[in-house]
Amino acid sequence: MIKENDEEFFKSICKKYIDTMSKEMLLEADNKKILHIFIEDEYIELKENGQINNVNYKKYLDGNFEIYEYNSYKELYDSVVKDEVAYDLNDLELFDSNDEWAFYLSFEELRRMGYGFMVKDHYPLIEKYAVVDEKIFDFFNYFSLEQLDDFEQSLNEYFNENSIVYNENSYEELESKEGANFNRNIIRLACDLITYEDFIEDYKEFPQTYYDLSLSKVIEYFRENGVKDLMEYGNDSDEGLYHLSSMYQEIMDKLGIKYSNVYTEDVSDGKYLTTIIFENDSSIEVDTSAWNGIKVVAGNMESIYETYENLKEKSKQNEVKNENEFEYDFN
C-alpha cells in the first residue's frame, strides 16, 4: 500500500494520468507549487514536443480554464487523480484482445492504490471457486498478474480440464496427469483444505525475492514493448537499434533503483557489457547477448537490485556511524 510520504509514487501516478489528456499539463513552479494547466488546442503539438515549460506556459493557456495549484503531488492525487483513475477503470479496458495489459497505469500501481480488485472479472475461476465474496476485493491486492495467471490456469486444469487429480496415496495429494507444474495452494483453497487466512499468510511469510521483483518488471517491459529477445538492441551508439542502456534504465526506474549513469559497450558480435553507476559512484557490470530474453535480463536485474539495496543499507549504516561520532566529539 501507499506510504503517506511517498511523493515520488504520487508524482508518477499524477503524471501518467495527466498524460492521457491532450490539453492538460503539470508543471513545477519556482515556488515549489504544482501547477495543473490547460493548453489551447492549437498549441497541443508544442506541449507534446516538450516546448512548453514553467517559464513560457502563460502564452499558451486556454483562458476557459483556471490554473490549479497544489502544494504537493499527494494533494493533487487525493483531491483529483485517485477518483479520476477510478472512473477510468470503469470506462477503459484493462487488457487488450491478446490478454496483454493495456491500462496506462501498471497493475502494481493499481494494487498500491487499492484498486487491485478491478481485475477480478479477468479471473472468473478465482472468484467462482477459490475466494468467497467478502474476501474477493482484498485478495487481488496481494498478488502480481503473473501469480494470478498461475492461480487461474491451475484452477482451470483442475475444474475444467480435469488434468489435475486428487491422489490420496501421493505425498502431495494433487497430481498433474501430464506432469505439468501447477499451484497446489490455490486448489487446496478452492477445495476448503486450507483457510483463506493461511493461504494469504503463506505468501506474506515468503516475500518476493530480488529475482521475483525484478522478473515482474522485466516481464512488464517485454510485454509493453513487444520484445521476445534482444536482437534489435545494441550499444549506445548503434544506429537503427534500440539501446540496452535505455532498457535497463526503464526497468530500474520501475523498481525505484536510483543511478547516475548507464552505458553499454560492445564485447564481441552480439555480446554487450552494460555498466550501471549508482549515485555514490559505486558500479556494477552485467553481460547481455542479442539472443537473451526475459530470464537473463531478470537475472541481471536481480544482481543490480541486490547490489543497489546493499549499497543503500551500507550508506545508512555509515550515516548513523557518522552521527554517533559527531555526537561523541561534540560532547
Per-residue pLDDT tens for 246-279?
999 999 998 889 999 999 999 999 999 999 999 8
The last residue of one of the domains, among 205, 233, 263, is 205
26 is written with which cell numbers?
503539470
User: Does residue 102 lie in a domain region?
Assistant: no
pLDDT digits (tens, 9 = 90+) for 167-226: 766 656 788 888 777 888 999 999 998 999 999 988 765 556 787 778 878 888 888 888
Chain center to CA of 116: 13
- The number of beta carbons lying within 10 Å of the beta carbon of residue 110 is 21
Residue 319: what are its φ and ψ, rounded to 5°? -65, -45
Same domain, yes or no: 186 and 277: no
Residue range 295-324: average pLDDT? 81
User: Does residue 288 lie in a domain region?
Assistant: yes
| Cross-strand partners of 134 | none
Residue range(s) defining the domain that contains residue 131:
107-205
Assign 316 a pLDDT band (cuts: 50, 70, 90): confident
User: Does residue 28 lie in a domain region?
Assistant: yes
Angle between helices 210-224 and 244-255 (to 10 degrees): 120
**Longest CA span, the chain:** 78
User: Does residue 98 lie in a domain region?
Assistant: no
328 is written with which cell numbers?
561523541
Stated pTM of the model: 0.61
Integer angstrom CA distances of residue 12 from 52, 108, 174: 19, 13, 43
17 is written with which cell numbers?
494520468
Nearest of 144, 130, 274 to residue 211 by alpha carbon? 144
Residue 65: CA count within 13 A, CB half-sphere: 17
Q: Is the pLDDT of residue 280 over 90?
A: no
Residue 24's contacts (CB-CB under 8 Å, 6 or more residues apart) are 18, 36, 37, 38, 39
Distance (Å, whole) CA 17 – CA 38: 14
Residue 171's contacts (CB-CB under 8 Å, 6 or more residues apart) are none
The last residue of one of the domains, among 91, 116, 137, is 91
Residue with cell 548503434: 238
pLDDT digits (tens, 9 = 90+) for 114-148: 899 999 999 999 999 999 988 998 999 899 898 99
The last residue of one of the domains, among 43, 58, 91, is 91
Chain center to CA of 282: 25
User: Does residue 223 lie in a domain region?
Assistant: yes
Distance (Å, whole) CA 108 – CA 142: 10
Same domain, yes or no: 246 and 320: yes
104 is written with which cell numbers?
496506462
- Structural domain count of the chain: 3
Q: Is the pLDDT of residue 281 over 80?
A: yes
User: Does residue 309 lie in a domain region?
Assistant: yes
Same domain, yes or no: 231 and 316: yes
Residue with cell 549515485: 279
Write the burial class of residue 3 (CB in 10 Å: 0-12 exposed, 13-18 middle, 19+ buried).
Answer: exposed
Same domain, yes or no: 79 and 153: no
Assign 328 a pLDDT band (cuts: 50, 70, 90): very low
User: Does residue 155 lie in a domain region?
Assistant: yes
